[in-house]
Structure formats: structure tokens, C-alpha cells
Amino acid sequence: MKKVLAFVLAAAMLMSMVTFASAEGEKVKLTALFCAHPLTKHVDEMKWVDEIEEAAGVDVTWEVIYTDWNQVKSTRFASGDIPDLLFNATNDSDYTTYKGLFMDLTDLLQYAPNVQAMFEEEPDTLALAKTLEGQIYGVPKFQGKWPDTNTVMFVNKVWLDKLGLAVPKTLSELKTVLEAFRDNDCNGNGDATDEVPMDFNGWFGGAYGLHNLIGSWGIQLTNWAYDSYFAENGEVKAFAIDERYKAMMKYLADLYAEGLINENAITNDYSMFQSLSRGDGNGNALVGVVMGWEETDKFGPVLHDQYVPCGPFVDDVDEYAGVAPRWPYDFSGLNMSGNRVCMSAKCANPEAAMKFIDQFYRYDVSVEGLFGGITDGCVSVVGDNHFKVELPLDPTTDSGTWKWTSTFADNAPMYIRRSTQIDMTQDMVYALTEREQYKDAIALVDMENEYYPQMFMKYTSDDQNTMAVAQANVNNIINNYWGLWLTGESDVEDDWDDYVAAAKAAGLDTILPIRQAAFDAYRGK
């Protein structure tokens, strides 16, 4: 009976859409802009988009932007030259900078039952959508199947077994393992110097930077901790000026001085970081310990089964020994993003445009937006609200790359319900099972006092401008020093007091009270 009722409701919804289109006499013409990933094919090649245009009774002319949008959008916004709908093209500050350019969608939600359902069932999405004054300009997404953390630290288990070592559990054991990787021809290729004990990419806010290890000193990072902000006992802090950060930098500087960290990591871009993890091209691994998203993505089809997850590591090297180690918690950042789609205030057919937007939030279309179309052959229907992600139609590519090639992927507007069942491809199965390693550490997160919800916090335009200027000054200081300390060009112990004073004077003392007020307002929601 439930299946029959669901079918009747779906048919009724479709009939209402068809009725709308026929009442108009012809399809409503809309224009849209989509900021796409460089791999993504043109929207006109996606059959599932044609199907939802048909269901909504609209005919959309698409403009797809692949590069340099952030460089040109200010000119277009200032001139008012925007289409009816913009996908993945705006941020919160655009709505205050270009007042009157975008449509407040609040009253149009009556034409978007799927979006309303998302707001009711996942209240954080409504908090994400609303401005400080309560308007809704951009509709967010929710894809509730992604894991709790973006970051997995991997260690080469084949190398460990060869050396008779166990997966490290403490900071001291990690150093011992790295030393063994440095001193032995672990990959067995006859060259004892090509092994890289540890590699990393990026720093503050990066998913694969070594700053993520600060959980060993008891600091809980959430949602990539951009600019080093975190919450502790209900207080907003910056870990870049915390004594525990100094302790971490001393530990890492010691590893670097011993030749245990890739000396080129600071200047390597992501492609070089990724390439090194995939070995020498002859089946030989080169990296011992490194962070990544998932094993096949990180190490490729040949080497991925050599690696297993490790961490978090218990601190046993300094005065913070005994603190329960933490691991980054990124559920909101991985499963929600704001401003997936917004509407021009000059849109001549806002009701039709809103009904089209709502199509993206259907339970089936949401899966298509993320993984590819059903009629495109990317996804199949297993049963009621149950789907299977098929292997790439291009056998020469991996599932992750194929997703970005064939559909909107993570840039799509979507509401993937928690109740939706999706049979994932092997890479996502790996991604979920690998993170069991961090289940106990993540369970320690105090969601009331330690979860720092930057993406949901709202600011006045004056506060945004104040923080932007101050943060640029602060970043000039904190971003310069970590590299100097890591490489031993300067000593963190000698610099620390002057460094902290300079960061505070540059703007941290201005920023922290503003962030605290926004944090308190979110917690009082």
C-alpha cells in the first residue's frame, strides 16, 4: 500500500507539473548559468536535465562557466548582466554587495515542496540558507550519505610488515615508523633513497595538511577549520596562537629535521602531491604515510591495497601526554553547502523558475545530480527510493572522476534524504569503511560546545568587511611562520611570544569577539 500511495503521489505531482506547462500554452523560457568543474560535460549533454525541464514545463538555455568565474563575476553582477538562474555561482557576501540583484525566494517556497521538506527535515539547511535578516537568496544542498570526516591518514602496511612493525598508535611510534621507512629500501627497488616517509599538502583549512594532527594535542577541528578557528568549552579560539599548536610545530619540526617529511611538500601543488602517492610508475610505492580521501583515489588501482588507515595518535612526547586524541569532524562540510542555486530579481517567470529549482530536490533527481542520470546509464533504480550507482561507462576512468565528468556532481542542488538507499561504487564503500578507524575519536565531539559551525554563522555586512581586512593581516603572519618553523629556518620557541602578540594586534583581537557573537547566536537558534 505504501508503494501504491507513493506512486499515486508521484503521478499527481507530475500531472500538476504537466498541467502548469499546458496552462501556459508553451514551455516557459529560462536562462541559467552553471559554474562547472573543468571535467564536467556541458549541461546540454545531460539527459536527466532535459527530463526535469520537461517535467517543469520550461526550456532552459544554459551557459556553462569552467574557469575564472571569480574574476569576472563582479563585473557581471555590477552591470546586472545575469541570467534567470545561477547554479554554484554565488556566496553570501554577493547578496549584500549587490543588493537588489537577486530574488528573495521565501514567498516562492510554496512552489517548491521538495525544498520545503529539506528545510523541515534538516533544519541546518534552513539556517544555512537564511541571511542574518531572514531572507533566502540561495538554496543549499544536503547529501546525507557522505562520511563524518574528510581526512584519512594512511600508512603503507606492506612496508610495516616487511620491517616487522605494527601500525603506529602514538606520536613516538609514528616517528619510529617514519625513521624505519627512511632507512630501508622498503619498496624493494634497489634504491634506499627514494622512499618518502611522510607527505602532506596545504595547511590551514586543507584536508590533507599536517595541521590535522593537532587532535593529538586535544584540539577538535571541525569542517576544515579555515584560518585555524575552533571552539572549546563554548569559546571561539584560534589554534594558530594556542600553546598546543606550538607543541605540534615542535614535534613536526623535529620530524622534518630528521628527513622524515617530504622537503618539497610546502611548494608541491595538489597534482604533484597526488602523483607521488601513486608510485614510480613501475608498481613501486614511494610514500609511507600520507593523508587522502580514499585509497583508490589516493594511490590508484595498483598500490591502493598496500595502505591501511592510521591515527589518531596518542601524545606521549610532551606535557600534553594523556589527552584523549581527536580527529577532524567534517559531516556538515561534506554533506551541506550553501548557494547551490539562486534567482535573478529580474526573472520574468519566478514561479516557473522555482518549480524548476524544486525538480533538483526530488529524491530521484538528487541522486542523478550527484552521480549521473538514470537514462544516461550512470544510475539504475533498484526499488522504491533505492538506487545503484553503476560503474563508469568509460572503462578507462575511475568512478570518482566519472561522476565529475558526467553530471553536476557535488556542485548540484540536491536533497539526498537519509532514508534514500544508494548502492555505492567500490570507492565510496572504501571511503566509508576506512573511516571506522576514527569512530571512537569522533564520538568524543561535544556538539554543543566544540562543534564550530562556521558555515551556518551569520554576520552583518560591516562585520564581514571588518573581518575580511583583519583576517588578511592575520594570515600574513600565521601563514608565513608555520613554514619557517617546520623547516627549521626559525625556532617556534624563540618566536612564539612575539608571534602571538603580532597576530592579535593584526586583527585576531578584533575577529574573535565577532565570531563569538555569531557562534552564540547559532547555538541559541
Supply the angle between the helices 461-487 and 492-503 in degrees, to the nearest 10: 170
* Residue 166 grid coordinates: 605494527
- Residue carrying the nine cell digits 609514528: 174
Whether cis (ω within 30° of 0) applies to the bond prior to 312 is yes
Phi, psi of 135 (to 5 degrees): -80, 160
Phi, psi of 229 (to 5 degrees): -85, 145
The pLDDT value given to residue 9: 40
Q: Indicate whether 141 pLDDT > 90.
A: yes
438, amino acid identity = Y
The pLDDT value given to residue 401: 86
Q: Indicate whether 31 pLDDT > 70.
A: yes
Closest C-alpha to 300, from 319, 315, 270, 280: 280
Residue scoring higher pLDDT (276 or 18) = 276
Q: Indicate whether 7 pLDDT > 80.
A: no
Q: Indicate whether 390 pLDDT > 60.
A: yes
- Residue carrying the nine cell digits 548557494: 339
- Per residue in 231-271, pLDDT (tens digit) is 999 999 999 999 999 999 999 999 999 999 999 999 999 99
Q: Contact 438/148 with Cβ under 8 angstroms?
A: yes
Q: Indicate whether 21 pLDDT > 60.
A: no
Q: What is the rounded CA–CA span in Å between residue 68 and residue 35? A: 10
The β-bridge partners of 86 are 33, 342
Give the CA count within 13 Å in the CB-facing half-sphere of 104.
10
Q: What is the rounded CA–CA span in Å between residue 288 and residue 299? A: 11
The pLDDT value given to residue 342: 98
Closest C-alpha to 332, from 221, 479, 195: 221
The pLDDT value given to residue 10: 44
- Residue carrying the nine cell digits 577541528: 221
- According to DSSP, residue 42 is labeled P
Closest C-alpha to 207, from 271, 130, 167, 150: 150
Q: Indicate whether 4 pLDDT > 80.
A: no
Mean pLDDT value of segment 186-193 = 95
- Residue carrying the nine cell digits 616517528: 175
CA-CA-CA-CA torsion for 497, 501, 506, 512, nearest 10 degrees?
A: 110
Q: Give Cα separations from 378 to 30, 314, 409 (angstroms).
A: 27, 43, 12
Domains of the chain by range and CATH?
2-147+333-424 (3.40.190.10), 152-328 (3.40.190.10), 454-523 (no CATH)
Please state whether beta strands 85-87 and 28-35 pair in parallel, antiparallel, or not at all (unpaired): parallel
Angle at the Cα of 167 (from 163 to 168), degrees rounded to 5?
Answer: 105
The pLDDT value given to residue 524: 86
Helices within 316-425 (DSSP H only): 331-335, 350-359, 363-371, 399-406
The pLDDT value given to residue 525: 67
251, amino acid identity = Y
Q: Indicate whether 219 pLDDT > 90.
A: yes
Residue scoring higher pLDDT (11 or 491) = 491
Question: Quick one: residue 134, left, alpha or beta (phi over 0 = left, psi -120 to 50 = alpha)?
Answer: left
- Per residue in 315-360, pLDDT (tens digit) is 999 999 989 999 999 999 999 999 999 999 999 999 999 999 999 9
Mean pLDDT value of segment 387-416 = 93
The pLDDT value given to residue 16: 44
* Residue 362 grid coordinates: 526530488
Least confident interval from 47-51, 299-303, 365-369: 299-303
Mean pLDDT value of segment 46-73 = 96
**Confidence band, pLDDT 50/70/90 cuts, at residue 398:** confident
Q: Indicate whether 17 pLDDT > 80.
A: no
Q: Indicate whether 96 pLDDT > 90.
A: no
289, amino acid identity = V
Q: What is the rounded CA–CA span in Å between residue 264 and residue 17? A: 57
* Residue 422 grid coordinates: 544508494
Which residues, 6+ apart, have CB-to-CB distance to 514 below 8 Å? 459, 463, 466, 467
**Confidence band, pLDDT 50/70/90 cuts, at residue 400:** confident
* Residue 93 grid coordinates: 557576501
Least confident interval from 96-100, 218-222, 248-252, 440-444: 96-100
Kindly tell me the sign of the dihedral angle through the C-alpha atoms of 395, 398, 401, 404: positive
Q: Contact 139/114 with Cβ under 8 angstroms?
A: no
pLDDT above 70 coverage of the chain, percent: 95
pTM of the complete model: 0.85
Closest C-alpha to 210, from 219, 201, 223, 222: 201
Q: What is the mean pLDDT of the chain?
A: 93
* Residue 38 grid coordinates: 573543468
Closest C-alpha to 317, from 524, 174, 104: 174
Give the CA count within 13 Å in the CB-facing half-sphere of 124.
17
Q: Indicate whether 471 pLDDT > 50.
A: yes
- Per residue in 421-470, pLDDT (tens digit) is 999 999 899 999 999 999 999 999 999 999 999 999 999 889 989 999 99
Q: What is the rounded CA–CA span in Å between residue 102 and residue 129? A: 14
Q: Contact 353/85 with Cβ under 8 angstroms?
A: yes
- Residue carrying the nine cell digits 563508469: 392
Q: What is the rounded CA–CA span in Å between residue 147 and residue 145? A: 7
279, amino acid identity = G
Least confident interval from 165-179, 391-405, 480-494: 391-405
Q: Indicate whether 3 pLDDT > 70.
A: no
**Confidence band, pLDDT 50/70/90 cuts, at residue 25:** low
